Amino acid sequence: MDKILIINNFLDYYQASSWLKTTLVFIAFLFAILILRFLILKILKSKEDRNVIQNEVAIPFLNWLTTYGILLFILIYFSNFDWMRKKFASIGNVEITVFLIIIAVLIISFANRTSKVITKYLLPRVYDRYQLDRGVQFTFNRMFHYSIMAIAFIVSISTVGIDLSALTVFAGVVGVGIGFGLQNIASNFISGIILLFERPIKVGDRVIVDDIIGDIERINMRATVIRSINNEHIIVPNSYFLEEHVVNRSYSDPKMRLTIPIGVAYGTDVEKVRLMLLQVASDEAKESETMILDPEPFVNFVGFGESSLDFELFVWISNPNAVLTTQSNINFRIYRILADHQIEIPFPQRDLHIKSFDGDTIKINK
């Protein structure tokens, strides 16, 4: 009897309480949509090709549907409630409510998601068709994303009823703030736009910044991300590339020259050394994909060092990313061919003269 009485009391309270009905319906909907998401994921995991489907298409799309489904349900189901329409701020003559904020968030987030889908799945097909390089692709992607987000922002502001002219005062205040406190951020933002259009550097380029060699990974709104050859990520402000000296090994022509120094002992046949070094360059070109013979390799007789005859082997490669690999391979070949021909690679020597107390002089070679 007690249980029946409790149930009857709950039903009476439920019928008399509108907020309880609303809360229970919302919880039921939320529970149902989460259960549905869980079941779909279980079905996807049962497939053999689940890795491709989950990572590339299914899970992001499922998360997108879940999030927007909940937001739309909140917007529609609670649209007539007082707390949705209650003003908590105002801009000009427009009253800001939770309802208007949800609409603005939906528009901006939907535009952001749409932009990412287009740049990830649709635009690459266009790039492949016209054979655009990686840097051009990145520039188009960023400008497309910025344009979509700017349009979404304007549409969301207009949808909630805010007159853009009412924001002129706010824009003036922001302009003053940029002129004083945000000058550095504004400079880097404008520099980023210049980098995307003028393209002194682009994604994929190999650059040298403060004696650090790395590849351009991303050009963001404020800073550029460089991944060094040691797999370290360096964050460089965009203005740096317009104000400082930067070496771009991939700019215009990716070909670059390598200089390999070598010293041999005095008395060595220098013509024989020259022919052997050219042979090393020829052998490496046959096995390397990046080593090229046009321009031709050249042996430079630098001069007469303190303990060796100094030479330099000049070779060219087509990919600046292969500098270390090619240089190391050539050094191995040079050492091997000099050892096979019994040509000495000297090391620095010094003669020390030590004078004893009895006047004798001891000579020590070091």
Summarize the confidence of residues 126-147 as an average pLDDT: 79
Residue % of the chain over a pLDDT of 70: 74
Judgement on whether residues 26 and 115 belong to the same structural domain of the protein: yes
The answer to whether the beta carbons of residues 296 and 358 sit under 8 Å apart is no
Residue 177 lies in a domain: no
* Domain-terminating residue out of 248, 271, 295: 248
Q: Is a pLDDT exceeding 80 seen at residue 79?
A: no
Among 213, 248, 283, residue at a domain's last position: 248
Please determine, for residue 107, whether its predicted confidence score (pLDDT) is greater than 80: yes
Residues 243 and 261 in one domain: no
Q: Which residues form the domain of 13?
A: 2-158
Residue 33 tokens, joined: 């949509």
| Residue 165: inside a domain | no
Domain for residue 358, yes or no? no
CA distance 237 to 209: 12
**Of the candidates 265, 261, 274, 268, the residue with the CA atom closest to the CA atom of residue 330:** 261
In this predicted structure, the answer to whether residue 213 has a pLDDT above a threshold of 80 is: yes
Q: Let me know if residue 163 belongs to a domain.
A: no
Quick one: 205 and 65 in the same domain? no
Residue 164 in any domain: the answer is no
Tell me, yes or no, whether 8 and 149 share the same domain: yes
Q: Residue 97 corresponds to which amino acid? A: T
What is the reported pLDDT for 22? Answer: 67
The whole-number pLDDT of residue 320 equals 84
Q: Same domain for 261 and 244?
A: no
Q: Answer whether residue 83 shows pLDDT above 70.
A: no
Q: Which residue has the higher pLDDT, 333 or 92?
A: 333
Do 24 and 154 lie in one domain? The reply is yes
pLDDT score at 14: 45
pLDDT tens for 292-319 read 988 899 999 999 988 899 999 999 998 8
Kindly provide the b/e burial profile for residues 252-275, where b requires at least 16 CB atoms within 10 angstroms of the residue's own CB: eeeeeebebebbbeeebeeeebbe
Q: Is 306 left (phi over 0), alpha (psi -120 to 50) or beta?
A: alpha
Q: Rounded CA gap, 106 and 84, in Å?
A: 15
Q: Is cis: bond before 346, omega within 30 of 0?
A: no
Q: CA 277, CA 254: separation in Å to the nearest integer?
A: 24
**Averaged pLDDT, 331-346:** 92
- Residue 328 clears pLDDT 70, i.e. is over it: yes
The pLDDT of residue 357? 54
Is the distance from CB of 35 to CB of 21 less than 8 angstroms?
A: no
- Contact between 191 and 214 under an 8 Å Cβ cutoff? The reply is no
Q: Using an 8 Å Cβ cutoff, are 156 and 102 in contact?
A: no
User: What is the Cα–Cα distance from 114 to 79, expressed in whole angstroms?
Assistant: 26
Q: Which of residues 164 and 107 earns the better pLDDT score?
A: 107
User: 197 lies in a domain?
Assistant: yes
Position 152 scores a pLDDT of 87
Same domain, 39 and 120: yes
The residue among 124, 158, 192 that closes a domain is 158
pTM of this prediction exceeds 0.85 = no
Are 151 and 191 members of one domain? no
pLDDT at 226: 92
Contact present, 185 and 238 (Cβ < 8 Å): no
Answer yes or no: do 208 and 264 share one domain: no
Query: Per-residue confidence at 10, pLDDT binned at 50, 70, 90?
Result: very low
pLDDT at residue 118, as a whole number: 87
Q: How distant is the alpha carbon of residue 7 from its chain centre?
A: 60
pLDDT at 153 (0 to 100): 84
Average pLDDT, the chain: 78
More confident residue, 177 or 244: 244
Domain count, the chain: 3
Q: Indicate whether 294 belongs to any domain.
A: yes
Place of tokens 């749409």: 114
The answer to whether residue 40 scores a pLDDT higher than 90 is: no
Q: Would 350 be classed as within a structural domain?
A: no
Q: What is the model's pLDDT at position 314?
A: 95
C-alpha closest to that of 279 among 345, 343, 330, 322: 330
Read off the pLDDT of each residue in 176-193 and give the average, rounded to a whole number.
71
pLDDT at 219: 85
CATH of the domain at 292: 3.30.70.100
The CATH number for 222's domain is: 2.30.30.60
- Same-domain status, 42 and 145: yes
Q: Are residues 39 and 103 in the same domain?
A: yes
Q: Please indicate, yes or no, whether residues 276 and 328 belong to a single structural domain of this protein.
A: yes
Model confidence at 73, pLDDT cuts 50, 70, 90, reads confident
